[in-house]
Amino acid sequence: MPLFGKKDSGKKAKSKDAKELNKQVSIEEKYNLHGLLGTGAFSEVRLAESKETPGEHFAVKIIDKKALKGKEESLENEIRVLRRFSANNFDVNSSNGTRLTHPNIVQLLETYEDKAKVYLVMELVTGGELFDRIVEKGSYTEKDASHLIRQILEAVDYMHEQGVVHRDLKPENLLYYSTDDDSKIMISDFGLSKMEDSGIMATACGTPGYVAPEVLAQKPYGKAVDVWSIGVISYILLCGYPPFYDENDANLFAQILKDYESVMDVHLTGEFEFDSPYWDEISDSAKQFIKNLMCVTVEKRFTCKQALAHPWISGNEASSKNIHGTVSEQLKKNFAKSRWKQAYYAATVIRQMQRMALSSNNSATGYGTTSANTQTGNGNTPGSSETMDVSKEPTAAHSETAHKLTSLNDTSEPTEPGTSSINDTHNHQ
């Protein structure tokens, strides 16, 4: 049966992905669902443990069908994109059955459906958020930033080769795989991603501060919007504050759009600067790299491959000077969790696993029915205006950021099916 019980009225099933949802076996037959990791408007994320392989953990995103009614295509699109990088997806053009996966992209492993809910079994990522780890480090250099950006570029380049545009790259969607010092970085949250073959992209969607000028101008756009976002992230990684900022979104967008309409053959960037003293110790190569990523002229903006070939990434031009003091101070000042306005309820994976280990004799019956307050160890309830400070502990890869689902409201401007308007998203500054 198609997703959400839709009937086929003589036409082709709307989505192959929808039909592939596993409705023959219930998720409870394969997994023990444990503590709450995060909540959103229409969904929650829970820690799950495999019954076949005890001790193997996953993140399960549970979507309420009734709450999502009328916006089903948003979920279908997310599943369609995630399946492109699924461990069960093979390259049909490969003679040796190469899997279409990437080590820096969080994977969708399985999908289930019952009458009330859809379940997405995802790879569990426990290493915490990008900025938190930088602040906690004792030393941080341009070379460290270059290494991070290279991983992001490689993953996004792979996505682009597969015909997927992420459309919402930002630090909150970049998570460490584990708590190991040498952990890789992972790209998560594909709620606004789009397949290029699904039609022209023109909807203004994403997160203020990271969105490309052509998106704000409501012009048709493509893969280059992701490169712009990586440029913004690169800028922040080297100074600790964003290139564009204003409390008023209209003014913020004006900064990003500066010179866009008048650009012809001139290589211009948006209205941002490399301010002294914060950029005094940063190499010219790094600055040039960022300018190439944040070029207002789409045709002159670097592709991921061009960025990967830049000497700041592929050569030895990234400085080894310790910039941790300045960067961490600015990150704490500009990106404190209390100012990110994240409307989700988070709990730590480590704490969940510790409790599971201590109460293993109750794991088959207890955790799936215990209240969220008990599982997370504080008195906040899901949806509370207060959020748990998890800056010192690893978080789940799929703790919901609210703007993905809560902003799927009707807008005055036409939007692509299953997307949200930029004006409905949260400004994290």
Res 361: pLDDT: 43
Q: Which residues of 155-186 are buried (b: 16+ CB within 10 A; e: fewer)?
A: bbbbbbebebbbbbbbbbbbbbbeeeeebbbb
- Residue type (1 letter), 127: G
Of 106, 45, 105, nearest to 401 (Cα)?
45
**168: annotated active-site residue:** yes
Q: What angle do CA 307, 312, 315 make, to 5 degrees?
A: 105
Q: β-strand 108-113 against 117-122: which pairing, if any?
A: antiparallel
Main-chain phi, psi angles of 47, to 5 degrees: -75, 135
Helix (H) or strand (E) holding 257: helix 249-257
Can you read off the two tokens belonging to residue 272? 């941002």
| Long-range contacts formed by 409-414: CB under 8 A, 24+ apart | 413/204, 413/218
| Alpha carbon distance, N-terminus to C-terminus of the chain | 44
Res 17: pLDDT: 52
Residues annotated within the binding site for ATP are 61
Secondary structure letter of residue 395 according to DSSP: B
Res 391: pLDDT: 31
Provide the residue-wise pLDDT of the chain in tens; the chain has 429 residues. Answer: 345 444 444 444 444 554 455 557 899 999 999 999 887 778 899 999 999 999 999 999 999 988 888 878 778 888 888 888 776 654 444 444 444 589 999 999 999 999 999 999 999 999 988 999 999 988 999 999 999 999 999 999 999 998 999 999 999 889 999 999 999 999 988 888 888 777 788 888 888 889 999 998 888 999 999 999 999 999 999 999 999 887 888 888 888 887 665 543 444 555 578 999 999 999 999 999 999 999 998 999 999 999 999 999 999 999 999 999 999 999 999 887 533 334 333 334 445 554 544 554 444 333 333 333 222 223 332 222 232 232 333 333 333 333 332 232 223 333 444 444 443 333 333
CB count in 10 Å sphere of residue 27: 21
Res 350: pLDDT: 46
Question: What is the SS3 assignment for 93?
Answer: coil
Res 249: pLDDT: 83
Res 258: pLDDT: 74
Of 17, 168, 189, 226, the active-site residue reads 168
- Residue type (1 letter), 175: L
Can you read off the two tokens belonging to residue 349? 């994976």
Res 51: pLDDT: 95
Q: How many separate helices (H) and strands (E) can be counted in the chain?
A: 16, 9
Question: What is the SS3 assignment for 406?
Answer: helix
In angstroms, the CA 370 to CA 96 distance is 46
Of 227, 332, 246, nearest to 215 (Cα)?
227
- Residue type (1 letter), 159: M
Domains, the chain, with CATH or none: 3-126+343-424 (3.30.200.20), 130-337 (1.10.510.10)
Main-chain phi, psi angles of 45, to 5 degrees: -120, 130
CB count in 10 Å sphere of residue 146: 26
Q: Which residues pair with 129 in a beta bridge?
A: 175
Of 259, 313, 265, 255, nearest to 288 (Cα)?
313
Half-sphere exposure of 235 toward its Cβ, with a 13 Å CA cutoff?
26
Question: What is the SS3 assignment for 333?
Answer: helix
Q: What angle do CA 176, 246, 134 make, to 5 degrees?
A: 20
Q: Where are the beta strands (DSSP E) in 28-107?
A: 31-39, 43-50, 57-64
Half-sphere exposure of 217 toward its Cβ, with a 13 Å CA cutoff?
19
Res 1: pLDDT: 34
**Helical spans, DSSP H, in 107-212:** 130-136, 142-161
CA 59 to chain centre: 15
Alpha-carbon dihedral 148, 174, 426, 298, rounded to 10 degrees: 50
